[in-house]
Amino acid sequence: MEHVRVICFFFACCVLTSVPFPALAQVDTYVFDPDFNCVDRGNFTANSSFAGNLNRLVSSLSSLTSKPYGFYNLSSGDSSSGEKAYAIGLCRREVRRDDCLSCIQTAARNLTEQCPRSKQAVVWYTQCMFRYSNRTIYGRKETDPTLSFRAGETISSNRDEFERLQRELLNRLKGVAAGGGGNRKYAQGNSSASPGYRRFYGSAQCTPDLSEEDCNDCLIYGFESIPSCCDGEIGLRWSCPSCNFRFETWRFYELDSDLEPDPPGTSGSPTPAAKTEKTGKGKGGSKVVIAIVIPIVLVALFAICLCLVLKWKRNKSRDRVKVLGSSPLSGSVAEDEFSNTDSLSVDFENLKTATNNFSPANELGRGGFGSVYKGVFSHGQEIAVKRLSGTSGQGDLEFKNEILLLAKLQHRNLVRLLGFCIHGQERLLVYEFIKNASLDHFIFGIIFYSPPYDPLPLVVSLCIDLYTVADLEKRQVLDWGVRHKMIGGIVRGLLYLHEDSRYRIIHRDLKASNILLDQEMNPKIADFGLAKLFDQGLTMTHRFTSRIAGTYGYMAPEYAIHGQFSVKTDVFSFGVLVIEIITGKRNNNGRGSDDDEDAEDLLSWVWRSWREDVILSVIDPSLTTGSRNDILRCIHIGLLCVQESAATRPTMASVALMLNSNSFTLPTPSRPAFVLESVVPLNVSSSTEGLQSSSNDVTVSELSPR
């Protein structure tokens, strides 16, 4: 079918060079958690006049009707008293009016709850910004505090040219936005890119109450902040109370024709009527013939190429249909499960080139499901390629499951799936490249061997105390601040899966080896091959399965024994993970070695230490800094999460509140589930339909309360 590609490429070149058309936008599914900032500029008391004015201002939002332009300026109270409350709300350009008002109402309500005594505060949601103050803020530039997000990709080549063209585009948008009227100060546009990149896209926005000079100065301040917040980043997003801008290498914004129209009489000047020319009769007749013949020829060529392409694609996709043809999902989930996967398909030859034909030198690691290779695409993007082994036990169902789920998810604490490949018997998954390894490489003592290896040192190493073989430099990186950040990031990722995404998703295999760490040690949850999802519209809170899969030691007892899973299944795994992070020990190891049959398992040891009031003894000895109260609070949270009864475990929303608010009183934990006798339950099979376990599995398998 190579001739088909040549014909289609030739035809496409002819058409594209002669017929201009706008670039298509990718769907901007990027979301982030609300970022609350309680500005430290004084507090008020609960019964003060300002408190009453602020409450009335927030309450008044519920009675407002939506406005065009996405900007709200409000106040409440008498300015002469000095206790007047002022507020401003601003939405992104593409947000519809009703959605904008709803976002601002939610932001205002939650901001006053998160900052109950602050006289000044600001919050950013994905779609809007809301701020309030005890002083006049309308028409006044405010550049503090700031919020920035990075795409996670760094410039790999032509950096000087990249940054020059980036500055040119942002400066052009700055001028257009600052010159906007009193209703909207916004600009969006694109420009040519440096070699190795497709095209640059950007947007700039100010609150429309600012003067042209203040808007200009605010955006300049943001541009000058790029080196300190986002140096070398390909994509970035920066915000402050008075302005914001965004820069990407893909079109994230909507065209004006796709947006909700502005009120009549407020749009730009109409397009002037097209000019006409008078021509001679003979010349005009020739033009008519050309105007008729050329479209007919183009349509005929297009039809021929379309038929050839469809036939070629049909042959090429046979393997893909065999794998992705049947759906494991149901209901409204199944209706659109394939909608986001077509664009993720990656050519096998491109992956071979990117990984140097899967060279052993590019191998990052090897696990039960296959090998992972580092690769670099031709445009410089680094990737990680998971090449599944045909004998791994991870079949087409798990492969499909991971594709369909990660295609729908986008969160900074979830690993990003860039693509997949089905080529004959080959099954490959393409992820973003994460600079650091998985969490278990840092918190546990691990010796790496590149196959072929001598197994004797590995056997000997298991008899040595883990601290003697651990990479000391890596362990020293994990001070309490880093570990606490890891715990918080995992909480945010699970909260997104359980409550904030379109579907309620149960991971079912949360463990240290499935937590990847980026260059700044931010955690990213990976490996969704065993994940299950619920439609958020359903009232069902748990399900049963006869196919129990996962890792012993992390599995909740109701799942390991009865096959019942819910969000509380992930909560149990999270609790085990928290205790591992703090103790630096594997959950199947406790204080003894793997060869010691009388060794106390980790949960038993921590629970006994908690009951005997010697809990400080379980803390990783390498944790020499950090608040002991914060560490003990996290152990307390971990014990709440591993309670034997699923009903008594907190939700991830409650865990987030416990972790972020020391004023929240923690309940007393009950006894966790313990691993007991080596008796395999009847409903857990060792066949391919039974338990699939990793190298971290525990051989004992019956869990029951002690």
Whether residues 543 and 568 fall in one domain: yes
Q: What is the mean pLDDT of residues 110-131?
A: 93
Q: Are 550 and 691 in contact (CB under 8 A)?
A: yes
Does the pLDDT at position 208 exceed 90? yes
Question: Is residue 304 a part of any domain in this protein?
Answer: no
Quick: pLDDT tens for 43-57. Answer: 898 889 999 999 999
Does the pLDDT at position 530 exceed 50? yes
The phi and psi torsions of 374 (rounded to 5 degrees) equal: -85, 140
Average pLDDT over all residues of the chain: 77
Angle at 150 between CA 661 and CA 439, to 5 degrees: 60
The phi and psi torsions of 188 (rounded to 5 degrees) equal: -140, 150
Whether residues 500 and 648 fall in one domain: yes
Any residues with CB less than 8 A from the CB of 13 and at least 6 apart, and which?
none
491 or 39, greater pLDDT: 491
pLDDT confidence of residue 442: 87
Lowest mean pLDDT among 90-99, 164-173, 546-555, 656-665: 546-555
Distance CA 604, CA 572 (A): 15
Picking from 643, 645, 667, the residue whose alpha carbon sits closest to that of residue 654 is: 667
Using CA atoms, how far residue 559 sits from 164, 405, 406, 447, 471, in Å, is 56, 21, 23, 32, 35
Using CA atoms, how far residue 119 sits from 31, 87, 131, 662, in Å, is 28, 11, 10, 22
Q: What is the mean pLDDT of residues 5-16?
A: 50
Q: What is the mean pLDDT of residues 56-64?
A: 91
DSSP result, 423-444:
ETTEEEEEEEPPSS-BTHHHHS
Most confident by average pLDDT, 312-321, 473-482, 571-580, 585-594: 571-580
Question: Is residue 354 a part of any domain in this protein?
Answer: yes
Question: Is residue 18 a part of any domain in this protein?
Answer: no
Tell me the pLDDT band of 617, cut-offs 50, 70 and 90: very high
pLDDT confidence of residue 664: 85
Q: Is the dihedral of CA 623, 624, 630, 632 positive or negative?
A: positive
The phi and psi torsions of 150 (rounded to 5 degrees) equal: -120, 150
Does the pLDDT at position 234 exceed 70? yes
Whether residues 563 and 646 fall in one domain: yes
pLDDT confidence of residue 338: 46
Does the pLDDT at position 135 exceed 50? yes
Question: Is residue 250 a part of any domain in this protein?
Answer: yes
Does the pLDDT at position 458 exceed 90? no
Domain-ending residue, one of 106, 133, 160: 133
Distance CA 344, CA 351 (A): 13
Give me the CATH number covering residue 397. 3.30.200.20
Distance CA 656, CA 437 (A): 25
Residue 669 CA from chain centroid, whole number: 32
Whether residues 77 and 124 fall in one domain: yes
Distance CA 682, CA 247 (A): 56
Tell me the pLDDT band of 264, cut-offs 50, 70 and 90: low
pLDDT confidence of residue 341: 59
Q: Are 603 and 578 in contact (CB under 8 A)?
A: no
Does the pLDDT at position 320 exceed 80? no
Residue 568 is assigned to a ligand binding site? no
pLDDT confidence of residue 579: 96
Give me the CATH number covering residue 154. 3.30.430.20
Using CA atoms, how far residue 434 sits from 230, 369, 371, in Å, is 17, 19, 15
633 or 396, greater pLDDT: 633
Does the pLDDT at position 286 exceed 60? no
pLDDT confidence of residue 390: 64
Question: Is residue 11 a part of any domain in this protein?
Answer: no
Question: Is residue 277 a part of any domain in this protein?
Answer: no
Domain-ending residue, one of 196, 228, 257: 257
pLDDT confidence of residue 611: 92
Whether residues 154 and 186 fall in one domain: yes
Q: Are 546 and 683 in contact (CB under 8 A)?
A: yes
Lowest mean pLDDT among 264-268, 470-474, 676-680: 676-680
pLDDT confidence of residue 451: 38
Tell me the pLDDT band of 541, cut-offs 50, 70 and 90: low
The amino acid at residue 649 is R
Q: What is the largest CA-CA distance in the chain?
A: 104
- How many other β-carbons are positioned within 10 Å of the β-carbon of residue 136? 11
Picking from 439, 447, 496, 449, the residue whose alpha carbon sits closest to that of residue 467 is: 447
pLDDT confidence of residue 461: 34
Does the pLDDT at position 532 exceed 60? yes
Distance CA 628, CA 155 (A): 40
pLDDT confidence of residue 186: 94
Distance CA 418, CA 422 (A): 14
Instruction: Provide Rg for the chain, Cα atoms.
Output: 29
Angle at 70 between CA 65 and CA 74, to 5 degrees: 65
Provide the domain limits for residue 95: 35-133
Residue with tokens 């546009």, as numbered in its chain: 189
Whether residues 629 and 488 fall in one domain: yes
Per-residue tokens: 27: 């769907």
Whether residues 404 and 446 fall in one domain: no
Whether residues 228 and 124 fall in one domain: no
pLDDT confidence of residue 594: 46
Q: Are 213 and 262 in contact (CB under 8 A)?
A: no
Does the pLDDT at position 64 exceed 80? yes
Count of structural domains within the chain: 4
409 or 113, greater pLDDT: 113
29 or 92, greater pLDDT: 92
Per-residue tokens: 660: 């972020």
Lowest mean pLDDT among 433-437, 655-659, 669-673, 689-693: 689-693
Distance CA 701, CA 506 (A): 21
pLDDT confidence of residue 476: 67
Any residues with CB less than 8 A from the CB of 513 and at least 6 apart, and which?
367, 438, 439, 440, 694, 696
Distance CA 51, CA 438 (A): 48
Whether residues 157 and 105 fall in one domain: no
pLDDT confidence of residue 257: 64
Tell me the pLDDT band of 288, cut-offs 50, 70 and 90: low
Any residues with CB less than 8 A from the CB of 395 and at least 6 apart, and which?
none
Any residues with CB less than 8 A from the CB of 246 and at least 6 apart, and which?
202, 203, 236, 237, 238, 252
Does the pLDDT at position 6 exceed 60? no
Whether residues 425 and 487 fall in one domain: no
Active-site residue set: 509
695 or 382, greater pLDDT: 382
Any residues with CB less than 8 A from the CB of 517 and at least 6 apart, and which?
434, 435, 436, 437, 438, 439, 442, 486, 523, 524
Quick: pLDDT tens for 387-432. Answer: 887 655 455 677 787 787 777 788 899 998 888 998 888 889 999 9
Quick: pLDDT tens for 146-200. Answer: 998 887 777 777 788 888 888 899 999 999 999 988 889 999 999 887 777 778 8
Quick: pLDDT tens for 559-613. Answer: 888 888 899 999 999 999 999 999 999 887 544 444 455 568 899 999 999 999 9
Which residues are paired to 426 by β-bridges? 423
The phi and psi torsions of 432 (rounded to 5 degrees) equal: -60, 145
Quick: pLDDT tens for 93-110. Answer: 888 899 999 999 999 999
DSSP result, 247-259:
EESS--SPPGGGS
Whether residues 596 and 505 fall in one domain: yes
Whether residues 413 and 528 fall in one domain: no
Domain-ending residue, one of 432, 464, 492: 432
Q: How many residues does the chain have?
A: 706
| Helix (H) or strand (E) segment spanning residue 535 | strand 532-535
pLDDT confidence of residue 340: 52
